[in-house]
C-alpha cells in the first residue's frame, strides 16, 4: 500500500499560519473553539487508526500547531472519521464553522486509482454529554450532514515543488441548536487533505451605547430573525422614548428607536451624562446642555437643576428657571391728585427700580379720615374706606399709573396710599414701600352729565351717548359735540349737532386719540361744556375681539364735575401679531387654535409659530435661535451649496461645553434685507423643533458677517445621494429603519401643525448611524430653492413629482399632502434614490396620477411597503394614513421581519415606463438603467450587442467584476425585461 504523506507540504504553511494566528477576529464573533490556539493536543478522536492523523507543525514562533491529515488515496472504500470533543455552544442558537484546509489534486498524484476523491464531508451531532460513544460505533444517521466540502483551490506536485500552498477557507453555519453542545465530525472517503485549522464561533451584537442608552452584548437569533433589545439609559439619564434596537443575524445593530436624555442637573458629554459644574444648571431633561446661572442666582454644588436666588432676590412660581432672579419694585414716585368735587384722579410715576421685572402693577389703598384725633391723640382718626368709593379702572392690579376714584363723600378727608408690586412682591418679607396722597372732597354739582362710548365701529367711527339731569335753564333744543385730536387742539375743531342723546362720529383717523366735549343748547342759549371724554380709535390691523386685561385703550377723564358712568363696552383689542399664534401658512380648516369669548385658546400641544406672525422677523430669530459668538466656530471645509451660499462643516465650541461637529450655512455677500430675512427664517423655524428625526439647530451668527446658521452635522449628507452611492447595500430592515425615522420626524412636525411642503429624499439628511432627519425649513425654499420645483398653471412653484394632486391643483397643502410626499420618499428609499416617474415629463405625471396611475413597486420591494405607499397616494386626502399610523405600521414590520419577505414583484420596471424599450446598444441600456458605470466591464467581457446580453448570468456578472448584489439584481431583472421584449425566455 502506497501511503502518500503530505507532511512535507506543511513547511510553507509557516508564514500563512502565522498570519492566521495573529489574526484578530471581529469583535462581534465569539470563538467557541479555535484549533490554532489550542495549547496541547486537540484530543480529537479518529477512526480507523490508519485514517486521520494528528500532526504537529511549528509556526513561525516555533509554537507547535495541531493539524489533522489524511491521504489514503491509493486504496478504495475509505471511510475515515475524525471527531472533535464536545463544543459548548454557550447559549448560541446558531454557530459558524470555519474550516481551513489544503487538498491535493488527484490528477497530480502519480498512479492513483479513480477512487481518489477531492472532497470531504462535515457533520454535526448535538449532545448534552461531554463523553461520546466511541467512534468505531459511529452511525451516520445520528449525525446531521452540514455539507460536502470541495476545494476552490487544490494543489499539484508542481505547486509542492514551487512550495506554493493553496489554503482553502470554508464557512458553514448551523442553526436551531438547543442542546448543551455539539460534536463536529469530518468524513474522508479517499482524499488527500490537511485540515489546517478549525474555528467554531457564534455572532453577537457587541455592547453598544447609542442615544445615551446602553445595549448589552446580545447573541444573534437562531434563524434570520432580528432580536429586539431594550436599551437601558446610561447613568443619570432618563428615558424620553423607550430605547430599542435590533440585533441582526450577522451581528450588527439596526434601527435605533427612542432615546434617553440626561436628567436635570446633567448634560451629555461623549455618550455619558456629566453633572453640571457649580455656577451652571440644567432645569429640564429636554435641555441639551448645562447653562450658566442667570443673573442674581448661583449654584454652589454640582448637578444643579436650578440656581438659587441671591439674598433679597426671588423667583416667582411661574418664572422660567432661565430668568434672572428679581426683587420687588421701589415705591411709586411723585403722586399728584386732581379733585373734582367728590371725584379724584390720582397719578404717579413708575417706581425708579422695577426690580428687574416687566410685570409692575399698582394697588391703591383708601382710608377715610374723620378730622377727629386718633387713638394716639395727635393725628386724625382714619379708617378703611370700605366699598363706598368706586375705582376706575380698578383698585388693585392697575397697569397704568393712574386711577379715577369716584363716589367719595363730600367734604371728607381721604388718604390714598399707592404701592407698586410685581410678581415677587409677595415673596419678600420686607415691608412694602408706599407713597401717600391726602385729598379733601367738596360739594357735588347737581347738573352732572355722563358720557359713554357706546360702540366702536371699524377703525374710523365711534358712537357716543350721554345723559344727565335736565339743565335748570330751559328745555334742551339740541346738543353740540365738539372734538379734536388730542395735542392738536389749536388747529382743528369739529363741531357736530344733534337733537338726540347719542351720535355716531365718522371719518376719524385710526389709532388716534381724540377729545370729545358735549354741551346742551336750551331756549336760553348754550350751557357750559359738561361732559368730556378722551378716547383712542382702533388700529387698522387690530381685531375686534376682547381681552379686558390686555389691551384697554379707552382713556376717559371727566371735566366739568361730571360723574362718569363708564360702561366698558367690548372695545378691547387683541392684536393678531401680538398673540403670536397665527399660522400664516396653515390651512384654516385644520387650524387647531380657537378663539373663545374673544380670547386665544392655546392648544395643549406645542404649536409651530410661523415667523411671519412676527412684525419684526429678527425678533423671531431672537426668540427661537441662540446667538453664537463667531469666535466659537471653526470652519473646516465646504460640503455643499445652499440657496443662499455655501454649506461648510466645522467645529463649534461653546464656553464650557464640549466641542461638536457642525454644519454651517452662510449667507453670501451682497444680499438684500429680504434675503437675509428669508435665510434666517429657516433658523427661526428649525429652532422651534426638538426631535431626534428633525435636524437640530445649534444657533445663529447675526451680529457679524457673514450671517450663519449652525446645525448638527450629518455625516452622510442628503438621503438621495447617500442611497445612490450605496445602491443595493442595505438590508430591507435598514431601509425600513430609515423610513421609520423620517415618519417619526414628520409625525412630530404634523403634531406641531407644521406642514413641510417639500418632503423628498433630497431634503432628508443622514448621520453616521444611518439616522435620517428631516431638514430644509426655509420659507422661500419651495418657491426658489428646490431645483425640482416647477411652475404650476396657478403660478406657484411646486415639486410636482412629490406633491399631492390637491396641492398642485388648488394649493391645498396639509399634513395629508405631506403624507403623499412621504409615500414618494418611501419609493425613493426602496429604489435607492431612483427618480420618481423616471424621465416622464411633469405634465405626464400630473395626467397619469389623475387617471389613477401610481408608481409601481420598486425591485425587491416587500408587498406591505408598496401597499403603504399606495395608501399614502390615496386620491382623497382623508383616506391617507396619518404619520402616527405610519410609524406604528413600520414598527410592526420591524418587529416582525418575516412580514417583509413577500415581494411585490420581481421586475423593476412597469409600464408606462420601460427604459429598456429605448435602448439600442449595451451602453444605452446600461445608462438607462443607471448602471452606466459597468460599460467597461461589459465591453471587456465581450458583450457588445444587446442580443449578447440576453444570456448573461449572475456568475458571469461576478466574473466581470459586478460584485454588488443589488447591482446584479438590477441588471438581471432588466435582462428579464429585455428577454420579454425579444420574446426570449432564458433562465438566468
Ligand atoms: P441645503 O441648503 O440645506 O439644501 O444644503 C445643501 C447641501 O449641504 C445638502 O444637500 C447637504 O449635502 C449639505 N448639508 C446641509 N446641511 C447639512 C448638515 N447638517 N450636515 C451635513 N451636510 C449638510
- Residue 524 is predicted with a pLDDT of 60
- Residue 373 is predicted with a pLDDT of 58
- Residue 298 is predicted with a pLDDT of 95
Spacing, Cα 193 to ligand 1 middle (Å): 57
Directed axis angle between helix 732-751 and helix 883-895, to 10°? 150
Nearest to 548 by CA among 424, 394, 406: 394
User: Quick check: CB of 640 below 6 Å from ligand 1?
Assistant: yes
Q: What mean pLDDT do residues 942-952 have?
A: 82
User: Quick check: CB of 639 below 6 Å from ligand 1?
Assistant: yes
Q: What is the dihedral of CA 405, 406, 408, 413, to 10 degrees?
A: 40
- Residue 307 is predicted with a pLDDT of 94
Q: Please check the confidence at residue 724 and state whether its pLDDT lies above 90.
A: yes
Catalytic residue, candidates 758, 776, 785, 818: 758
Spacing, Cα 770 to ligand 1 middle (Å): 16
Q: Which atom of ligand 1 is nearest to the CA of 715?
A: 21
| Alpha carbon nearest to ligand 1 atom 3, residue | 776
User: Quick check: CB of 86 below 6 Å from ligand 1?
Assistant: no
pLDDT band at 888; cut points 50, 70, 90: very high
pTM above threshold 0.75: no
CA contacts within 13 A on the Cβ side of 43: 11
Q: Report how far residue 803's alpha carbon sits from residue 810's, in angstroms, rounded to the nearest whole number.
A: 12
Nearest to 108 by CA among 196, 8, 192, 1: 192
Q: Please check the confidence at residue 13 and state whether its pLDDT lies above 50.
A: no
- Residue 183 is predicted with a pLDDT of 96
Q: What mean pLDDT do residues 439-453 have?
A: 64
pLDDT band at 372; cut points 50, 70, 90: low
Q: What mean pLDDT do residues 82-98 have?
A: 93
- Residue 159 is predicted with a pLDDT of 56
End-to-end, the C-alpha distance of the chain in Å comes to: 48
Residue-wise pLDDT for 400-426, tens only, equals: 998 888 888 888 889 999 999 999 999
Lowest mean pLDDT among 258-267, 818-827, 978-987: 978-987
Q: What is the dihedral of CA 582, 583, 587, 591, to 10 degrees?
A: -50
Plot region of 198 (φ>0 → left; ψ -120 to 50 → alpha; else → beta): beta
The winner for highest mean pLDDT among 578-582, 655-659, 666-670, 885-889 is 885-889
The winner for highest mean pLDDT among 219-228, 664-673, 679-688 is 679-688
Concatenated DSSP letters of 87-136 = EE-TT-SSEEEEEEEEEB-GGGSTT--TT-BSEEEEEEEEES-SS---GG
CA contacts within 13 A on the Cβ side of 890: 28
Lowest mean pLDDT among 96-100, 310-314, 758-762, 955-959: 955-959
Q: Please check the confidence at residue 168 and state whether its pLDDT lies above 80.
A: yes
Residue with cell 386724625: 380
Annotation marks residue 758 as catalytic: yes
Nearest to 759 by CA among 750, 769, 771: 750
Q: Report how far residue 402's alpha carbon sits from residue 559's, in angstroms, rounded to the nearest whole number.
A: 16
Q: Please check the confidence at residue 588 and state whether its pLDDT lies above 90.
A: no
Pocket test for ligand 1, best of 642, 710, 759 (most atoms within 8 A of CB): 642
What contacts 36, CB < 8 A, 6 or more positions away? 17, 20, 21, 65, 197, 199
Instruction: Quote the cell numbers at residue 98.
Output: 470555519
Radius of gyration of the chain measured on its C-alpha atoms: 43
- The residue count of the chain comes to 988
| Alpha carbon nearest to ligand 1 atom 16, residue | 663
| Alpha carbon nearest to ligand 1 atom 13, residue | 640
Q: Please check the confidence at residue 818 and state whether its pLDDT lies above 90.
A: yes
Q: Which atom of ligand 1 is nearest to the CA of 641?
A: 6
Residue 682 vs residue 943, higher pLDDT: 682
Q: What mean pLDDT do residues 96-121 have?
A: 90
Q: Report how far residue 745's alpha carbon sits from residue 887's, in angstroms, rounded to the nearest whole number.
A: 10
pLDDT band at 201; cut points 50, 70, 90: very high
- Residue 78 is predicted with a pLDDT of 94
What contacts 245, CB < 8 A, 6 or more positions away? 208, 210, 215, 228, 229, 231, 253, 254, 255, 256, 257
Q: What mean pLDDT do residues 551-575 have?
A: 27
- Residue 14 is predicted with a pLDDT of 37
Residue-wise pLDDT for 283-315, tens only, equals: 989 888 898 999 999 998 889 999 999 999 999
Residue-wise pLDDT for 514-550, tens only, equals: 888 887 776 666 666 666 777 777 776 433 333 333 2
pLDDT band at 448; cut points 50, 70, 90: low
| Alpha carbon nearest to ligand 1 atom 10, residue | 718
Nearest to 706 by CA among 624, 648, 623: 648
Q: Which helix (H) or strand (E) holds 673?
A: helix 673-686
Instruction: Quote the cell numbers at residue 146.
Output: 452540514
- Residue 566 is predicted with a pLDDT of 27
Q: Please check the confidence at residue 606 and state whether its pLDDT lies above 80.
A: no
pLDDT band at 152; cut points 50, 70, 90: confident
| Alpha carbon nearest to ligand 1 atom 19, residue | 713
Let me know: does 262 contact 271? Beta carbons within 8 Å: no
Q: Report how far residue 62's alpha carbon sits from residue 869's, in angstroms, rounded to the nearest whole number.
A: 64
Residue-wise pLDDT for 48-71, tens only, equals: 999 999 888 776 667 777 889 999
Q: Please check the confidence at residue 398 and state whether its pLDDT lies above 70.
A: yes
Q: Which atom of ligand 1 is nearest to the CA of 640?
A: 8
The dihedrals phi and psi of 186, each to the nearest 5 degrees, come to: -115, 125
pLDDT above 70 coverage of the chain, percent: 80
Residue with cell 339743565: 471
- Residue 190 is predicted with a pLDDT of 94
Let me know: does 497 contact 483? Beta carbons within 8 Å: no
Spacing, Cα 619 to ligand 1 middle (Å): 25
- Residue 382 is predicted with a pLDDT of 84
pLDDT band at 970; cut points 50, 70, 90: confident
The dihedrals phi and psi of 489, each to the nearest 5 degrees, come to: -50, -40
- Residue 530 is predicted with a pLDDT of 66
Let me know: does 413 contact 371? Beta carbons within 8 Å: yes
User: Quick check: CB of 713 below 6 Å from ligand 1?
Assistant: yes
Spacing, Cα 642 to ligand 1 middle (Å): 7
pLDDT band at 719; cut points 50, 70, 90: very high
Q: Which atom of ligand 1 is nearest to the CA of 642?
A: 2
Cα distances from 439 to residues 330, 337, 435, 556, 557, in angstroms, run 23, 7, 13, 21, 18
Let me know: does 327 contact 424? Beta carbons within 8 Å: yes
Q: Please check the confidence at residue 599 and state whether its pLDDT lies above 90.
A: no
- Residue 586 is predicted with a pLDDT of 38
User: Quick check: CB of 662 below 6 Å from ligand 1?
Assistant: no
**Quick one: how many helices (H) and strands (E) in the chain?**
17, 54
pLDDT band at 659; cut points 50, 70, 90: confident
Q: Please check the confidence at residue 156 and state whether its pLDDT lies above 80.
A: no
Beta strands in 758-883 (DSSP E): 764-766, 772-774, 790-791, 797-798
- Residue 712 is predicted with a pLDDT of 96
Pocket test for ligand 1, best of 666, 712, 761, 765 (most atoms within 8 A of CB): 765
The CA-based angle 58-63-68, given to 5 degrees, is 50
Residue 224 vs residue 500, higher pLDDT: 500
Beta carbons within 10 angstroms of residue 611's beta carbon: 24
pLDDT band at 249; cut points 50, 70, 90: confident
DSSP bridge partners of 405: 344, 391
Strands 253-262 and 237-247: antiparallel
Residue 569 vs residue 331, higher pLDDT: 331
- Residue 572 is predicted with a pLDDT of 24
User: Quick check: CB of 660 below 6 Å from ligand 1?
Assistant: no
Let me know: does 736 contact 891? Beta carbons within 8 Å: no
What contacts 63, CB < 8 A, 6 or more positions away? none
- Residue 133 is predicted with a pLDDT of 85
User: Quick check: CB of 718 below 6 Å from ligand 1?
Assistant: yes
Q: Please check the confidence at residue 677 and state whether its pLDDT lies above 60.
A: yes
DSSP bridge partners of 501: none
- Residue 687 is predicted with a pLDDT of 93
Lowest mean pLDDT among 210-224, 352-366, 856-870: 210-224
- Residue 547 is predicted with a pLDDT of 31
HEC letters along 258-309: EEEEECCCEEEECCEEEECCCCEECCCCCCCCCEECCCCEECCCCCCCCCEE
Spacing, Cα 720 to ligand 1 middle (Å): 12
The dihedrals phi and psi of 178, each to the nearest 5 degrees, come to: -140, -20
Q: Please check the confidence at residue 908 and state whether its pLDDT lies above 70.
A: no
- Residue 366 is predicted with a pLDDT of 94
Beta carbons within 10 angstroms of residue 510's beta carbon: 14
Peptide bond into 706 cis (omega under 30): yes
Q: Please check the confidence at residue 164 and state whether its pLDDT lies above 60.
A: no
Q: Please check the confidence at residue 935 and state whether its pLDDT lies above 80.
A: yes
Nearest to 428 by CA among 498, 329, 292: 329
The winner for highest mean pLDDT among 22-31, 33-42, 77-86, 533-542 is 77-86
Amino acid at each position: 500500500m502506497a501511503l502518500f504523506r503530505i507532511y512535507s507540504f506543511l513547511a510553507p504553511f509557516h508564514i500563512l499560519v502565522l498570519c492566521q494566528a495573529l489574526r484578530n477576529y471581529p469583535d462581534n464573533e465569539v470563538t467557541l473553539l479555535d484549533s490554532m490556539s489550542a495549547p496541547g493536543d486537540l484530543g480529537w478522536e479518529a477512526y480507523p487508526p490508519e485514517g486521520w492523523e494528528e500532526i504537529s507543525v511549528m509556526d513561525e514562533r516555533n509554537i507547535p500547531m495541531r493539524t489533522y491529515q489524511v491521504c489514503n488515496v491509493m486504496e478504495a472504500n475509505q471511510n475515515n472519521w475524525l471527531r472533535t470533543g464536545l463544543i459548548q455552544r454557550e447559549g448560541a442558537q446558531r454557530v459558524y464553522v470555519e474550516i481551513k484546509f489544503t487538498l491535493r489534486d488527484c490528477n497530480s498524484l502519480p498512479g492513483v486509482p479513480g477512487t481518489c476523491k477531492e472532497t470531504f464531508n462535515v457533520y454535526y451531532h448535538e449532545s448534552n454529554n461531554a463523553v461520546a460513544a466511541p467512534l468505531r460505533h459511529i452511525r451516520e444517521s445520528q449525525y446531521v450532514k452540514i455539507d460536502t466540502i470541495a476545494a476552490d483551490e487544490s494543489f499539484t506536485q508542481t505547486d509542492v515543488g514551487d512550495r506554493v500552498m493553496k489554503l482553502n477557507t470554508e464557512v458553514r453555519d448551523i442553526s436551531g441548536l438547543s442542546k448543551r453542545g455539539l460534536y463536529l465530525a469530518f468524513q474522508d472517503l479517499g482524499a488527500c487533505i490537511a485540515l489546517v485549522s478549525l474555528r467554531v464561533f457564534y455572532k453577537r451584537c457587541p455592547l453598544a451605547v447609542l442615544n445615551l442608552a446602553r445595549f448589552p452584548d446580545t447573541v444573534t437569533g437562531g434563524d434570520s430573525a432580528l432580536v429586539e433589545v431594550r436599551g437601558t439609559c446610561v447613568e443619570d439619564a432618563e428615558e424620553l422614548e423607550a430605547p430599542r434596537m435590533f440585533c441582526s443575524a450577522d451581528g450588527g445593530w439596526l434601527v435605533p428607536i427612542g432615546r434617553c436624555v440626561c436628567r436635570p442637573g446633567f448634560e451629555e458629554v461623549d455618550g455619558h451624562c456629566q453633572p453640571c459644574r457649580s455656577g451652571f444648571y440644567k432645569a429640564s431633561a429636554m435641555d441639551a446642555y448645562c447653562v450658566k446661572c442667570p443673573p442674581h442666582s448661583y449654584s454652589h454644588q454640582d448637578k444643579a437643576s436650578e440656581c438659587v436666588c441671591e439674598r433679597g432676590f426671588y423667583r416667582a412660581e411661574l418664572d422660567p428657571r432661565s430668568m434672572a432672579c428679581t426683587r420687588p419694585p421701589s415705591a411709586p414716585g411723585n403722586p399728584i391728585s386732581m379733585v373734582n368735587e367728590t371725584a379724584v384722579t390720582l397719578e404717579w410715576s413708575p417706581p425708579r427700580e422695577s426690580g428687574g421685572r416687566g410685570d409692575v402693577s399698582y394697588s391703591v389703598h383708601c382710608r377715610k379720615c374723620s378730622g377727629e384725633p386718633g387713638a394716639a391723640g395727635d393725628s386724625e382718626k382714619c379708617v378703611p374706606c370700605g366699598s363706598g368709593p368706586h375705582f376706575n379702572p380698578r383698585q388693585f392690579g392697575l397697569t397704568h399709573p393712574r386711577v379715577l376714584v369716584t363716589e367719595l363723600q363730600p367734604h371728607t378727608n381721604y388718604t390714598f396710599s399707592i404701592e407698586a408690586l410685581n410678581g415677587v412682591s409677595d415673596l419678600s418679607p420686607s415691608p412694602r414701600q408706599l407713597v401717600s396722597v391726602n385729598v379733601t372732597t367738596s360739594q357735588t354739582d347737581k347738573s352732572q352729565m355722563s358720557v359713554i362710548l357706546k360702540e366702536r365701529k371699524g377703525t374710523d367711527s365711534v358712537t357716543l351717548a350721554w345723559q344727565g339731569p335736565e339743565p335748570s335753564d330751559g328745555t334742551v333744543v339740541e346738543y353740540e359735540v365738539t372734538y379734536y385730536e388730542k395735542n392738536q387742539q389749536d388747529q382743528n375743531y369739529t363741531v357736530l349737532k344733534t337733537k338726540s342723546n347719542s351720535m355716531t362720529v365718522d371719518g376719524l383717523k385710526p389709532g388716534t386719540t381724540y377729545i370729545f366735549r358735549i354741551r346742551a343748547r336750551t331756549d336760553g342759549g348754550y350751557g357750559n361744556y359738561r361732559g368730556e371724554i378722551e378716547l383712542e380709535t382702533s388700529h387698522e390691523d387690530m381685531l375686534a375681539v376682547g381681552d379686558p386685561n390686555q389691551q384697554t385703550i379707552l382713556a376717559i377723564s371727566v371735566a366739568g364735575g361730571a360723574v362718569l358712568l363708564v360702561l366698558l363696552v367690548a372695545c378691547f383689542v387683541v392684536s393678531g401679531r401680538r398673540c403670536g399664534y397665527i399660522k400664516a401658512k396653515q390651512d384654516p380648516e385644520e387650524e387647531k387654535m380657537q378663539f373663545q369669548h374673544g380670547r386665544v385658546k392655546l392648544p395643549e400641544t406645542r404649536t409651530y409659530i410661523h415667523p411671519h406672525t412676527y412684525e419684526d422677523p429678527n425678533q423671531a430669530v431672537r426668540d427661537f435661535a441662540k446667538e453664537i459668538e463667531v469666535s466659537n466656530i471653526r470652519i473646516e471645509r465646504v460640503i455643499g451649496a445652499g440657496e443662499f451660499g455655501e454649506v461648510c462643516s466645522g467645529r463649534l465650541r461653546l464656553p464650557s461645553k464640549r466641542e461638536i461637529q457642525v454644519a454651517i450655512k452662510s449667507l453670501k455677500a451682497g444680499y438684500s434685507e429680504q434675503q437675509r430675512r428669508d435665510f434666517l427664517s429657516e433658523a427661526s423655524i428649525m429652532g422651534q423643533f426638538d426631535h431626534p428625526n428633525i435636524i437640530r439647530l445649534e444657533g445663529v451668527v447675526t451680529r457679524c458677517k457673514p450671517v450663519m446658521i449652525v446645525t448638527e452635522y450629518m455625516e452622510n449628507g442628503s438621503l438621495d445621494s447617500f442611497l445612490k452611492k450605496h445602491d443595493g447595500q442595505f438590508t430591507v430592515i435598514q431601509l425600513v429603519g430609515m423610513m421609520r425615522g423620517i415618519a417619526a420626524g414628520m409625525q412630530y412636525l404634523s403634531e406641531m401643525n407644521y406642514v413641510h411642503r417639500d418632503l423628498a429624499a433630497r431634503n432628508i439628511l443622514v448621520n453616521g448611524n444611518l439616522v435620517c432627519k428631516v431638514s430644509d425649513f426655509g420659507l422661500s425654499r419651495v418657491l426658489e430653492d428646490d431645483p425640482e420645483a416647477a411652475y404650476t398653471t396657478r403660478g406657484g412653484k411646486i415639486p410636482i413629482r412629490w406633491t399631492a394632486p390637491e396641492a398642485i391643483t388648488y394649493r391645498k397643502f396639509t399634513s395629508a399632502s405631506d403624507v403623499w410626499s412621504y409615500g414618494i420618499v418611501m419609493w425613493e428609499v426602496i429604489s435607492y434614490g431612483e427618480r420618481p416617474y423616471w424621465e416622464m415629463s411633469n405634465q405626464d405625471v400630473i395626467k397619469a396620477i389623475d387617471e389613477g396611475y401610481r408608481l409601481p413597486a420598486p425591485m425587491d420591494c416587500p408587498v406591505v411597503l408598496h401597499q403603504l405607499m399606495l395608501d399614502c397616494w390615496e386620491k382623497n386626502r382623508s383616506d391617507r394614513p396619518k404619520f402616527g399610523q405610519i410609524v406604528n405600521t413600520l414598527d410592526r414590520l420591524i418587529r416582525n421581519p418575516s412580514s417583509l419577505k413577500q415581494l411585490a414583484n420581481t421586475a423593476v420596471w412597469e409600464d408606462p415606463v420601460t427604459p429598456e424599450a429605448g435602448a439600442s446598444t449595451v451602453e444605452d441600456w446600461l445608462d438607462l438603467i443607471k448602471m452606466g458605470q459597468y460599460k467597461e466591464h461589459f465591453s471587456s467581457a465581450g458583450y457588445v450587442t444587446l442580443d449578447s446580453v440576453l444570456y448573461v448570468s449572475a456568475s458571469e456578472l461576478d466574473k466581470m467584476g459586478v460584485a454588488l448584489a443589488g447591482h446584479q439584481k438590477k441588471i438581471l431583472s432588466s435582462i428579464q425585461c429585455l428577454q420579454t421584449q425579444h420574446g426570449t425566455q432564458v433562465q438566468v
